[in-house]
Chain A
């Protein structure tokens, strides 16, 4: 069972104007981010964030890195399904998914530079003598950095194709199977490690969230989130660019996501029951409320897409939104709401933090729009009028 051969010129730049009201607004958001970052690098991280010693990790780490890379799991999940499970029909969404992932990971890396206090020392992580291999963060950092490079290589054919560098493209094509294999391995490692990072927090993380199953829980919810991100991105692209919706592919992807999410829920409840903390989620606390919101969102998404009319665009789109939101909340809750380092500490992201996170998201969308207009990312349309869209 192998994929049918596909010529690569099936993807094509969609062209169109680069300066539109949408890109202008996105550009403005990026500009605000740059101003906030300028203040951050001149006056210190406390000048623009609410970070403190009780919550030394805030929005930038939890959203930009942990959640950003989880949504960037679109790349590895689609690559996995297409090449490892060998479902060639998913090929048209591979490049958009890889682009989403590349941008997500690049932004995660960028936000690490903003967030760490001494970014000029970041090279220490990759340097023997400094590197501390017992650190989960070491594994995450090295793995994410490596995977970002892998993503760049995976996405490189789009550049090479665009600029007609066929020789390089051919050479790359021969070894691409290995790159893709690494590109699947690395995210499973660091996405699970993003969960393992919480293990070191010990009793500072509420027992509802603190479990040795964290790596599996994070990995499984990441797969759901990554697929959801592909579906959301595919649906919005179709609507915004007035292109045909890959209804069948997207709904099937969402079903896979739903099944993995179901696995996540089963694992989560089994783990809670096994550790005997199930009664804790019935206590009236903010955390148990958040727990049930997550669970309800996961469950609703699963029901929506696995139900009888799950292939309706509206349904799988809503399911994807719900699942992405559920995964986002799960990560916010695990890293911030369930985290308690001592009485009296408060944290809520400041306007500066929100501005930077917003700016990063805006940059991702902006870069995505520019990339699909200039590079062969999206599947080529049969009709020639396809590139005349605004």
Chain B
């Protein structure tokens, strides 16, 4: 009879490996990966954005992405993608409320927001990928995608808290699409096409450290003060004068899941822009900590296997001795 005793034995053995080892080595728990020292990224200041969509078409051109037809409430467009997708790596979306005539106001206003890869310091997609198709460059911090390695499992698509990597579904040979900060142009002395083309400097390219200084500078000025805004990339020399926006206190990407290399400033709260509220701890750190705790140098699984093998051997041995030609087998 299967008694309570045997059940307890079973539970102790079966769940033991997981239970014990998840408590045992807390030293293995890892924290968020820090940002690479020379990380490059983007600063998107929604108050500067005029909604010209030049960044959308420049991105498509720089990355060889096709045009997309979109049906919106206002009509049928070829230059207004509904969302990022397998065909679009970067899109400007607009929040609008009421009569939507006051820029960067929550009520009766509108605001632009950019959707593209955030280039997390501790990316979930990199942690998710079972075949190293998603990698984070140790120097620039750019999150790269390698089509040749990819198996198309879409765990990265599901895992990304910003919902950035996108798959193609209309071909037997699909791929994952995401912004790679125009890494292929860096070698040509150029940089992210969206920042390069932006006429107002709303999308600004540069070392993240400098971008953060620029954010500090903008925040230190009173809203409405006219100041010089760099265009293209920090230090390019190109700039223009415009009034400083009235920013919400949050800088999106500063702390979200351990920080990102793409930072957003906005005049309206980020939840209105469908930017998810995220904790400071990266899911990758949480997930990998637990996995490493369980599979720490495979000590627990091997130990558990030893116990199982010993028990199985003991229980099957007499049978083998009793009827040697038959053996004990399932």
A touching B, CB within 8 angstroms: yes
A151–B87 Cα gap in the complex (Å)? Answer: 43
Chain A contact residue count (CB 8 A cutoff):
102
Q: Is the CB of A199 within 8 A of B287?
A: yes
Stretch of A136-144, A293-301, A362-370 at the chain-chain interface: A136-144
Q: Is the CB of B152 within 8 A of A116?
A: yes
Q: Is the CB of B291 within 8 A of A134?
A: yes
A54–B328 Cα gap in the complex (Å)? Answer: 50
Q: Is the CB of A201 within 8 A of B158?
A: yes
Contacts of A256 in B (CB 8 A): 2, 7, 10
Q: Is the CB of A124 within 8 A of B149?
A: yes
Which one, A5, A81, A129, contacts B2 given CB within 8 A?
Answer: A81
Quick one: given A45-B174, A118-B151, are A200 and B312 in contact (CB under 8 Å)? no
A296–B316 Cα gap in the complex (Å)? Answer: 40
Stretch of A103-111, A168-176, A236-244 at the chain-chain interface: A168-176
Q: Within residues 70 to 95 of chain B, which ones have a CB less than 8 A from any CB in chain A? A: 83, 85
- Of all chain A residues, the one with the shortest Cβ separation from B134 is A132
Contacts of B9 in A (CB 8 A): 85
A227–B305 Cα gap in the complex (Å)? Answer: 22
Quick one: given A124-B149, A216-B15, are A139 and B127 in contact (CB under 8 Å)? no
Which one, B274, B286, B295, B327, contacts A212 given CB within 8 A?
Answer: B286
Q: Is the CB of A116 within 8 A of B153?
A: yes
Q: Is the CB of A5 within 8 A of B127?
A: no
Q: Is B211 engaged at the interface, CB distance under 8 Å to the other chain? A: no
Q: Is A333 engaged at the interface, CB distance under 8 Å to the other chain? A: no
B188–chain A nearest beta-carbon distance, Å: 29
Chain B interface size, under 10 / 10 to 19 / 20 to 34 / 35 or more: 35 or more
Contacts of B245 in A (CB 8 A): none
Q: Is the CB of B163 within 8 A of A177?
A: no
B42–chain A nearest beta-carbon distance, Å: 20
Q: Is the CB of A223 within 8 A of B286?
A: no
Contacts of B15 in A (CB 8 A): 188, 216, 219-220
Q: Is the CB of B322 within 8 A of A5?
A: yes
- Of all chain A residues, the one with the shortest Cβ separation from B292 is A134
Quick one: given A56-B157, A117-B167, are A137 and B330 in contact (CB under 8 Å)? no
Q: Is the CB of A199 within 8 A of B290?
A: yes
Q: Within residues 130 to 153 of chain B, which ones have a CB less than 8 A from any CB in chain A? A: 130-132, 148-153
Contacts of B2 in A (CB 8 A): 81, 85, 87, 252-253, 255-256
Q: Please encode chain B, from 1 to 34, with 1 for each CB lying within 8 Å of some chain A CB and 0 for all others.
A: 1101011011101110111001000000000000
Which one, A7, A189, A197, A255, contacts B301 given CB within 8 A?
Answer: A189
Q: Please encode chain B, from 178 to 212, with 1 for each CB lying within 8 Å of some chain A CB and 0 for all others.
A: 00000000000000000000000000000000000
A139–B296 Cα gap in the complex (Å)? Answer: 13
Contacts of A252 in B (CB 8 A): 1-2
Q: Is the CB of B286 within 8 A of A263?
A: no
Contacts of B290 in A (CB 8 A): 196, 199, 212, 215
Stretch of A178-186, A283-291, A382-390 at the chain-chain interface: A178-186
Q: Is A131 engaged at the interface, CB distance under 8 Å to the other chain? A: yes
Stretch of A16-24, A36-44, A315-323 at the chain-chain interface: A36-44
Q: Is A95 engaged at the interface, CB distance under 8 Å to the other chain? A: yes
Q: Is the CB of B151 within 8 A of A125?
A: yes
Q: Is the CB of B172 within 8 A of A178?
A: no
A327–chain B nearest beta-carbon distance, Å: 16
Quick one: given A117-B174, A137-B130, are A86 and B161 in contact (CB under 8 Å)? no
Q: Is the CB of B152 within 8 A of A117?
A: yes
B176–chain A nearest beta-carbon distance, Å: 8
Quick one: given A53-B163, A134-B291, are A46 and B170 in contact (CB under 8 Å)? yes
Q: Please encode chain A, from 200 to 234, with 1 for each CB lying within 8 Å of some chain B CB and 0 for all others.
A: 11111000000010011001100100000000000
Contacts of B327 in A (CB 8 A): 8, 169-170, 172-174, 176
B235–chain A nearest beta-carbon distance, Å: 35
Q: Residues of B with Cβ closer than 8 Å to A?
A: 1-2, 4, 6-7, 9-11, 13-15, 17-19, 22, 83, 85, 124, 127-132, 148-155, 157-159, 161, 163, 166-175, 257, 274, 276-279, 282-284, 286-288, 290-291, 294-295, 301, 304-305, 308-309, 311-320, 322-323, 325-330
**19 residue pairs bridging A and B, Cβ less than 8 Å apart:** A2-B314, A2-B315, A7-B323, A41-B172, A43-B172, A81-B6, A117-B150, A118-B175, A125-B130, A125-B131, A131-B132, A137-B155, A176-B329, A185-B17, A185-B301, A199-B287, A202-B124, A220-B15, A256-B2
- Besides A178-B312, A181-B308, 4 other A-B contacts (C-beta < 8 A): A5-B318, A47-B170, A132-B129, A185-B305
